[in-house]
Amino acid sequence: MKPTIIPFLTTRKLNPENQETPIHFLPQTITLKEYFFIRNHFEYPTQTQEAYFLPIVGEVIRPIIFKLEDIMRMPSKHLMLPLECSGNNRAFFHPKVYGEQWEDGAISQGLWKGVPLKDLLALIGLKRTALEVVFEAYDYGKRMDLEGDFHFARSLPIQKALHPDTLIAYELNGKPIPFKHGYPLRLIVPQWYAMASIKWVKRIVVIDHLFKGPFQEIDYNYYPYKDSDKGKTPVAQINVSSIIQQPQSYSILDNGKHVVEGIAWTGTGVIIEVEVSTDGGESWHKAILGQEQSHLYSWTFWKYDWKVSSKGEYLIMSRARDSFGNIQPFKAKWNRKGYGYNAVYTVKVKVE
């Protein structure tokens, strides 16, 4: 009998809890809940019965408090998609930036089930003044830069809120959403970084102006300069990206055949090509994509069979391209808070 060998989440912080998916060791399409990355701004909220009721108010014709059981009886939709923290790979920015030092595991894929938000909004009727939809969450706490307590809250432009795939979700991977991931109700915003997919939805408010909460206006913006807020733009769509899961960086391989493999994903269209270089970017080879494009949003497996006969050091790279023509850059666009990293993924190996 051999002992069980399993990977674990990588602990980045415990208070609040922030843990990373062991992405190099998970070949599955779906990330099991034990391995789903965890990202919190605050302590976990208290679990209350109140969370089974979802008020939608503001610039609406008939404000309604939806019951969870009513939501669960409405026509639903399944979406398989990765949630990626906008700070994924933050640790790899040069110059380095402050904040959680996520490496490449602040991303996980799940099968989400829920009701299109547009169907809820259709029931209550939007006023013509409706400009944005604000999602308030149950989690709250203090910020270092402002006085007082803040609930986590963010808005979507009305068009994105009405997109047929923007869901009020209540299931992950065929089960009620685990509490740590937003039970009972979580917003799911496909193609956007995961700060948009707020957990523990408390209340939805339709507003006639631009939402100015600190998680909208201060955090989750690209600040291109170290000492100035010039050029600030909001974080939204996921940048096209890929990672090499195996081999891992600074590993020693024997000469012979090796499979270079990983995943690729994008927030704009679908992945149409992944290229691999084994000579530091001089020459590129097409990887085999491991998945039909049936799921619009899900990540794509890829692999490349590498035959190496000469000993030495090798820089292996992966570079994904999407149907919007976006391609991973050699260097990620630096920004002060470290969002949206998507540089060509590079591992260095030695063949002995």
17 part of the interface to its own copies, by CB under 8 A: yes
127 part of the interface to its own copies, by CB under 8 A: no
Q: Which stretch binds its own copies (CB under 8 A): 108-116, 193-201, 249-257, 326-334?
A: 249-257
Instruction: Using the minimum distance from each CB to its own copies, give the nearer residue, 53 or 179.
Output: 179
Query: Alpha-carbon torsion 46, 51, 57, 60, what sign?
Result: positive
CA distance 41 to 144: 12
CA distance 329 to 327: 6
Would you say 348 and 315 are in contact if contact means Cβ atoms under 8 Å apart?
A: yes
Is 134 in a helix, a strand, or coil?
A: strand
List Cα–Cα distances, 167 to 11, 75, 112, 245, in angstroms.
Answer: 29, 11, 9, 30
CA distance 309 to 323: 35
Instruction: Using the minimum distance from each CB to its own copies, give the nearer residue, 25 or 284.
Output: 25
Q: Return the residue of 101, 237, 268, 323 that touches its own copies, per CB under 8 A.
A: 101
Instruction: Using the minimum distance from each CB to its own copies, give the nearer residue, 145 or 292.
Output: 145
Q: Return the residue of 254, 288, 305, 312 that touches its own copies, per CB under 8 A.
A: 254
Q: Which stretch binds its own copies (CB under 8 A): 15-23, 110-118, 264-272, 302-310?
A: 15-23
Q: Which two tokens stand for residue 290?
A: 């491991």
Q: Which two tokens stand for residue 248?
A: 């891992």
Would you say 257 and 305 are in contact if contact means Cβ atoms under 8 Å apart?
A: yes
Q: Which stretch binds its own copies (CB under 8 A): 5-13, 155-163, 168-176, 212-220?
A: 5-13
251 part of the interface to its own copies, by CB under 8 A: yes
225 part of the interface to its own copies, by CB under 8 A: no
Q: Return the residue of 69, 145, 147, 292 that touches its own copies, per CB under 8 A.
A: 145
47 part of the interface to its own copies, by CB under 8 A: yes
Instruction: Using the minimum distance from each CB to its own copies, give the nearer residue, 25 or 53.
Output: 25
CA distance 46 to 130: 31
61 part of the interface to its own copies, by CB under 8 A: no
9 part of the interface to its own copies, by CB under 8 A: yes
Q: Are strands 251-253 and 345-351 parallel, antiparallel or unpaired?
A: parallel
Residue 331: what are its φ and ψ, rounded to 5°? -130, 130
Applying CB under 8 A, the residues found at the interface with its own copies are: 1-3, 5-11, 13-15, 17, 19, 22, 24-25, 43-44, 46-47, 91, 96-99, 101, 144-145, 179-180, 248-252, 254, 348-350, 352
